[in-house]
Amino acid sequence: MNISIFGLGYVGCVSLGCLAKNGHFVIGVDTNPSKVDQINSGKATIIEKDVDTIIAEQKSAGHISATTDNQLAIKGSDISIIAVGTPSTDKGHLNLQYIFKVAENIGEALQHKDTFHIIAIRSTIMPGTCDKFAAIVERISGKKRNEDFAIVDNPEFLREGTAVQDYYNPPLTLIGSDNINAAEKVADLYRQLPAEVIITDLKIAEIMKYINNTYHALKISFSNEIGNICSELGIDSHKVMDIFCKDKQLNISPYYFKPGFAYGGSCLPKDLKGLQTLAHDLYIDVPVIDAIHKTNDLQIQRAIKLIYKYWDKKLGFLGLSFKAGTDDLRNSPTVTIIEALLGKGCDIVIYDKNINVAMLTGTNKEYIDSRIPHLSSLLVSDPEELINNCDIIVINTKEPEFIKLVEDIDNKIIVDFVRLDDAILSKSNYLGINW
């Protein structure tokens, strides 16, 4: 396939060499003549393991070239990969002037091209950038998106120092587009690599690089805070984290990566507080660990705000315990929400098959007595009664029986904190807490 790559910096140079090595004919494009001359002399524009050898070999084989001429590159290619920089501004926003300048250049070049052209953005961009890029191309070229050209987001996940190895051994290949044919053609560039190719919505692809790198930064900071605590206690933090990583069911797994409601129960709040207190006693600052419960509190406040829009309606809560399949009310976020809404004068009823007020004992009873002492007057034993008598149905736990209860409801608002079932997400009367 004939490919043009706009931007011959880090990502562009690696992509240029690796795509050529995979059998494609690749034209590099850059506004800097010295970078163009380097590529045309068979030299890499960056210092990176193995890239210099690949560029030299592929230039000798006639698979790569470089130019400052945008029209020549567009005319000689079917797919253009955008790999220009998107640095941060002083205020933390992305500086998109380079990428939008490329959009203008491509728009001008497409004025003189009659065949369909695919634009794949590899640069790190925020959601919505591809749409703005396409609008610029449309305005300048006079061409129509998805008729004359298509836009694809294809974020890169290359690390400096191991970029070539990462290119040929990616964890996955991600492609976002509103044009499935264009997405499939870009996917064909990566089919031979040993990783799943995921084709998804445009904005999902645009945000993934930020999600990934923010999580990587979080892991480093969390590990360093654990290391600082362990160091003060004379504990080998690497042995601690090695054991931590052996748990593939909970610690290193998808298990807790489900956006939704706040955590609760006895274990997580208690043990988090214990570690925070230990760090405090050791005079160790742990801002990441200290922020965890603050984020959890914010999620509860988000839920209260979402429900309070319907303060003048009868509210029915399905589930009260901190998670499905238990009667444990300790630190249940739902208890906090109901307590707050009752204080604002809301009319509330609750159904939870696991809760029997007469059977509550010990700390569980003490907790609920201090928060909602008149709980028994709010509980109903028949979920159908709750459904029939309430205007707003709030789902707090992922009990299978709740799916059947709400799947055919169209005349009441359903507020879902647990993503009960994907089948109900498209209902017009449905609201999720963060989806």
> Could you give the angle at the alpha carbon of 335 between the alpha carbons of 330 and 341, nearest 5°?
160
Catalytic-labelled residue, pool 130, 267, 346, 390: 267
Contact 46, 9 (CB under 8 A): yes
Helix (H/G/I), strand (E/B), else coil: 335:
helix
Asked if 180 and 199 count as a contact pair (C-beta separation under 8 A), the reply is yes
- Beta-sheet pairing, 79-82 with 64-67: unpaired
CA distances from 101 to 30, 96, 117, 144, 364 (A): 12, 8, 18, 19, 62
Residues 6+ apart with CB under 8 A from 201: 176, 178
Q: What are 28's strand-pairing partners? A: 5, 66
How many angstroms separate the CA atoms of 385 and 181, rounded? Answer: 50
Write out the two tokens for 177.
């587009």
- Distance (Å, whole) CA 427 – CA 435: 13
Q: How far apart are CA 14 and CA 434, in angstroms?
A: 37
- Sequence length of the chain is 435
Residue 278 Cα to chain centre, angstroms: 32
267 noted as active-site residue: yes
Q: Quick one: angle between helices 202-233 and 287-308, nearest 10?
A: 140
Q: Which two tokens stand for residue 95?
A: 């500086």
Strand partners, 67: 29
> Is 34 in contact with 9 (CB distance < 8 Å)?
no
Give the separation between CA 161 and CA 158, rounded to whole angstroms.
Answer: 9
Q: Cα separation of 396 and 337, whole Å?
A: 10
Q: How far apart are CA 351 and CA 360, in angstroms?
A: 16
Nearest 5°: the CA angle 245, 331, 297 is: 80
How far apart CA 233 and CA 223 sit, in angstroms, is: 15
Catalytic residues: 267
